[in-house]
Amino acid sequence: MDAMRPTDWKRVVDAASAAALEHLESLPDRPVLPAAADHEAILSLLDRPPGPAGIDAAQVVGELASDLRPYITAQAGGRYFGFVVGGLHPAALGAEFLVSAWDQNAPMFAATPGVAVAEELAARWFVDLVGLPPQSSVGFVTGGQMATFTCLAAARHELLREVGWDVEARGLPGAPPLTVVAKTGVHATVPRALRLLGLGEQALIRVGCDDEDRMRPDLLEEALAAIEGPTVVVVESGNVNTGSFDDFEAVADIVDAHRAAGNPTWVHVDGAIMLLAAAAPSMADKVAGLDRLDSWSTDGHKLLNVAYDCGIAICRNAAAHRAAMSVTAAYLEQDTCARDPLDWGPDFSRRARGVQVYATLRSLGRDGVIELVERTTSLARRFADALSASGYAEIVNDVVSNQVLVRWQSPDGDNGRLTDAIMAGVRAEGTAFFTGTTYRGERLMRISVSDWATDEDDVDRAVEALLRHARLNIR
């Protein structure tokens, strides 16, 4: 077909959906990581620069699918336990497919009213689901990193406003200092957000943690006693290593006292992994006090299992959120009394990524979300029980959510070598995918159960493979 002829949508959609379906249906059985993921091989396969004449779109899509097929990781399958990576709920996929086909640039209601309202409702439902203050504002951003950035930008606005400084107008040179307090194990995206906000990593004071990497409230109190002026405190709902929750009630009490002493203070919750726990009554004791805090970031693309990319930034103080993010230009069409997405995140143009949140929440229902939180936690415990019963491994953390930290025990004392050998062996045979970490100086294996598709059989297959490779590598 001549490249200049009108596109044949059906042929393109058929080519893409046939390849997509083949991929999705292969997930239960296919190797998680393609066997020969060689950079040079992939490069030479794909490196076919566009020539002067174009190529039929359906042909390109078909070739892309077959070229990349062996090199696509089964992240949306039930046996991917690396990093913290969510799967793909069917409702999210369907909505994302439509969002791509609709090609809506979604910053303003006036331009794309349908998706703007779907996002407005997704925001409202999500806030309600996790029990946050109903007036909270919501921005759909690319991920946890940008959600934290957005919330901390709102914090920066509000705290400096309270001491008479307009940071949006004047920037930071000459501004009153703003101190940020977080724990020693704070996720790397928090200092990175401080860099992006011009506050700098040196604004960060780190306080110590307990054995589960929860911020110690007594040390927070001590740190705040030495701070005067605008203060941000960052806590966590779901630690990347232990899955633990900070003591939000204690933090809220301590911060109330700091405020009462005349220090404008904002508490941000990094809930990338487990803000969703707040939807589950069985987790109520873990998240008590969460709703007393000021902002919350989370990832739709983790436990909610919507497609990459989707982060969610939520602020109690909608005016601060909007003041930090909003933008205007004479040629735009704003202030239509409807919610304009560009007021709530750092993007100007963007895809309507919140639509998949709308679809997934409707499809799962409240009970489905609760079940997702509880099932991933109980599957994490299944891993922990089986591995510790094997005699080859110890579980380092208290498994209170979907994260497990594993210490493989080598008789020769070289646990790090054994850990890496086991993970590499399981990865190479394709049965499952695990990643490691260095935690308090020790090489450990992490398990993250974040996929709606993971079931008991997936866990048992993964455990069998892990133990087989443990036996093979013990010397």
Ligand X SMILES: Cc1ncc(COP(=O)(O)O)c(C=O)c1O
Can you give the binding site for ligand X, defined by CB under 6 A? 84, 143-145, 187, 189, 240, 270, 272-273, 299, 311
Q: How far apart are CA 209 and CA 296, in angstroms?
A: 21
Nearer residue to ligand X within complex by CB, 157 or 446: 446
Q: Are 177 and 263 within 8 A, CB to CB?
A: no
| 326 vs 435, beta carbon nearer ligand X | 435
Distances (CA, A) of 15 to 49, 131, 320: 21, 43, 46
CB of 320 to ligand X, least distance (A): 21
Spatial neighbors of 15 by CB under 8 A, at least 6 apart, are 58, 61, 62, 65
Find out whether the peptide bond into 309 is cis, omega within 30 degrees of 0: yes
Beta bridge partners of 435: 446
The whole-angstrom distance between residue 221's C-alpha and the CA centroid of its chain comes to 29
Residue corresponding to tokens 């001549």:
2
Residue 69 vs 192, nearer CB to ligand X? 192
Residue 300 neighbours by CB distance under 10 Å = 30
| Smallest distance from ligand X to CB 68, Å | 22
Please name the residue that has the structure tokens 């290593």.
241
Cross-sheet strand order for the sheet of 204-207: 137-141, 311-315, 295-299, 265-270, 231-236, 179-183, 204-207
Residue closer to ligand X by CB (options 270, 294) is: 270
- The least CB distance from residue 28 to ligand X, in Å, is 25
- Min separation Cβ 76 and ligand X, Å: 16
| Cβ within 8 Å of residue 335, ≥6 positions away | none
**Closest CB to ligand X among 160 and 283?**
283
Of 149 and 392, which has the nearer Cβ to ligand X?
149
| CB 292, CB 252: distance < 8 Å | yes
- Residue 450 CB, shortest distance to ligand X, in Å, is 9
- Neighbouring residues of 426: CB distance < 8 A, sequence distance ≥ 6: 432, 433, 434, 462, 465, 466, 469
Please state at what angle helix 318-325 crosses helix 144-162, rounded to 10 degrees.
Answer: 100
CB nearer to ligand X: give 301 or 407: 301
Minimum CB distance to ligand X smaller for 179 or for 241 = 241
CA end-to-end span of the chain, whole Å?
61
Shortest CB 296 distance to ligand X, Å: 12
Instruction: Tell me how far, at minimum, the Cβ of 221 lies from ligand X, in Å.
Output: 23
Distance, in Å, from the CA atom of 41 to the CA atom of 34, rounded to the nearest integer, reads 13
* Pick 77 or 271: Cβ nearer ligand X: 271
- Closest CB 142 distance from ligand X, rounded Å: 7
Minimal distance, residue 144 CB to ligand X, in Å: 2
What is each CA distance from 260 to 133, 252, 256, 257, in whole angstroms?
22, 12, 6, 5
120 or 299: CB nearest ligand X = 299
Containing 207, the helix (H) or strand (E) segment is strand 204-207
- Residue 235 CB, shortest distance to ligand X, in Å, is 11
